[in-house]
Amino acid sequence: MIRRWTGGLRAWPGRLMGLLLSCSLGTVAAGPTGSPGASEVVRMGILGNSPPMSFRNAEGEYSGYSIDMARAVCRELNWHCQWVPTTISAVMDELKQGQVDVAAMSLLSTPERRAQILLARPYYTSISAWVARHGVALDAPGTRVAVVQGSAQARFAQTRSWKAVEVGTHAELAQALAQGRADGLLAPMMSVVGLMAQPPLQGLGLNVQPRREPELTGAASFGISPLRPELKPLIDGALERLERNGVYDKINSRYLPFKVN
């Protein structure tokens, strides 16, 4: 099992970096602002094994693009944030039941999510990617496609004539493909970059193809519990200030060799 992200910018394959640089990852529009809270305790649901967005570093500490963005929000609002490890498939129920206050992960704004939870101001634009050995076609009927349970990619797979191979974490996508349990995988491009730097997928001669279907592309946001609606204007305001004062760019350059916000 892949436990830690140990790669830096040097670990990014050249072809994949070029592919990402050619994608239109635009700046998201500004949202409403709010005022900082005071010593608020906020439970942040996070993914523990989804580099470069969220992972444990060599010291065992939570790190990554989404983690650092959430940490910056907590500092901006003077919150004491508690990290609560979870999964994409579980976090919706945890938000609705108030077990976590915020899902500090990149959630696309789907109709199902908008009907159940609140979504914060987007913090980057996400596209998806199909990864497979050369010659394997995503659109062929019966293709075994590895997807993370509860993700936008899993919902998309259910509308196709594929055989979905659902796993619990992004790290398990690489294992399903490397072990031959799936013909390919479908995941957010940012997660694909992290996966391509990991040993199970190195040396397999994989093809990476961006997918721009509306269901797989869009603004990515933190989720907010419907039981804590007062948090949304505070988080939105904090994210807007972080973008204006350059913190966004600092976090971006820490993990990515191109700008996504």
pLDDT tens track for 122-178:
999 899 999 998 888 888 889 999 999 999 999 999 999 899 999 998 889 999 999
pTM over 0.85: no
pLDDT tens per residue across span 196-236: 888 888 888 899 999 989 999 999 999 999 999 999 999 99
Question: Look-up: residue for tokens 């948090």?
Answer: 231
What is the per-residue pLDDT for 30?
A: 34
Full set of structural domains in the chain with CATH: 26-125+220-255 (3.40.190.10), 128-216 (3.40.190.10)
Instruction: Give 74-116 pLDDT, tens digit per residue.
Output: 999 999 999 999 999 999 999 999 999 999 999 999 999 999 9
